[in-house]
Amino acid sequence: MRSLIWLIFLALAVALAILMAQHDKGWVGNLTTNDFASLTINVLWATVIGAAAIVLFRGRLSSALKAIGIWALVAVALIIGYTYRTDLGTVYGRVMAQLMPGYTFTQNRTVEVARTASGDFAISARINGARVPMVLDTGASSVVLTQEAAKAAGLPLEILSYDVPIDTANGRTQAASVTLDHIAIGGLVEKSISALVAKPGQLRVSLLGMTFLNRLESWEVRGDRLRLHGYP
């Protein structure tokens, strides 16, 4: 047991020496110095707990070996999970995007949304900070909001002038021209977006139209997935 304690102290000393040597560079292999320090602490904790298990089960060899094996697996799982944490996050995000309509998965400057069972791309957006459900409509020349969405976004409904003709599922009607402070979809945020507000009862759900899509570097539909690519 004493030799194990010295081994732990030696490993800690080596890790500290590596951190001090690489401090100015900021990297240890493919890990940042902060990540390497966190990984070292996790592995040391797993080792200490495993050593405690050995002491606890001293005299019962089979139980001690089983405890060692379990904590060895925990240590390996910590190392693997930490090394591939970004990939695990990617898998989680894509699964959630598939299972939850409107869930947006962001990776770098790309947002991904899965098609719903109805065939639409339902999107949970934030307009002026308010959460607004929307549907992608590439045939709409503008973002179009329902009265409820416009109210949630803090727009002055009482002074809007409905003088812009638009075509909706309920026929031809008029809408009011507005400018939105910002629209956020996942990690993509665009500011000062031209939009329209439909008259009460004329629109069932807000539409994500071309005044937003044209702000992006590109967008595409591949199979059942919508991908929005923002500028770097």
Domain of 222, CATH number, reads 2.40.70.10
pLDDT tens-place string over residues 147-182: 999 999 999 999 999 999 988 766 788 999 999 999
Better pLDDT: 197 or 23: 197
Residue position matching structure tokens 């102290």: 9
How confident is the model at residue 202, as a pLDDT?
87
Hey, what's the torsion of the CAs at 46, 70, 74, 55, to 10 degrees? Answer: -10
Residue 90 belongs to a domain: no
List residues bridging with 206 in a β-sheet: 134
**Cα distance between the two ends of the chain:** 54
89 pLDDT more than 50: no
Q: Return the closest-CA partner of residue 196 out of 206, 204, 183.
A: 206
Residue 93 belongs to a domain: no
Both 170 and 61 in one domain: the answer is no
Going from the C-alpha of 21 to that of each of 33, 120, 162, the distances in angstroms are 10, 54, 67
How confident is the model at residue 166, as a pLDDT?
87
Maximum mean pLDDT: which of 57-61, 81-85, 105-109, 124-128: 124-128
Angle between helix 33-56 and helix 61-83 axes, rounded to 10 deg: 170
Both 21 and 68 in one domain: the answer is yes
Both 63 and 159 in one domain: the answer is no
Q: What is the enclosing helix (H) or strand (E) of 136? A: strand 130-136
- Number of domains the chain is built from: 2
Q: Return the closest-CA partner of residue 225 out of 85, 95, 88.
A: 95
How confident is the model at residue 126, as a pLDDT?
94
Residues 136, 90, 27, CA angle at the centre, nearest 5°?
A: 130
Both 73 and 118 in one domain: the answer is no
Better pLDDT: 199 or 102: 199
* DSSP-derived 3-state class of residue 105: strand
Going from the C-alpha of 187 to that of each of 108, 162, 181, 183, the distances in angstroms are 8, 32, 16, 10
CA dihedral over 6, 9, 11, 17, signed as positive or negative = negative
Query: Domain ends where: 49, 83, 117?
Result: 83
Residue spans of alpha helices (H) in 129-220: 147-152, 210-213
Query: Domain ends where: 57, 83, 109?
Result: 83
What's the Rg (C-alpha) of the chain? 27
Residue 94 belongs to a domain: no
Query: Domain ends where: 50, 83, 116?
Result: 83
Residue 59 belongs to a domain: yes
**Averaged pLDDT of the chain:** 78
Provide the token pair at 74. Answer: 């925990």
How confident is the model at residue 188, as a pLDDT?
92
Both 220 and 106 in one domain: the answer is yes
Better pLDDT: 30 or 171: 171
34 pLDDT more than 50: yes
Provide the token pair at 172. Answer: 């031809």
For residue 209, what are the domain limits?
101-229
| CA 6 to chain centroid | 43
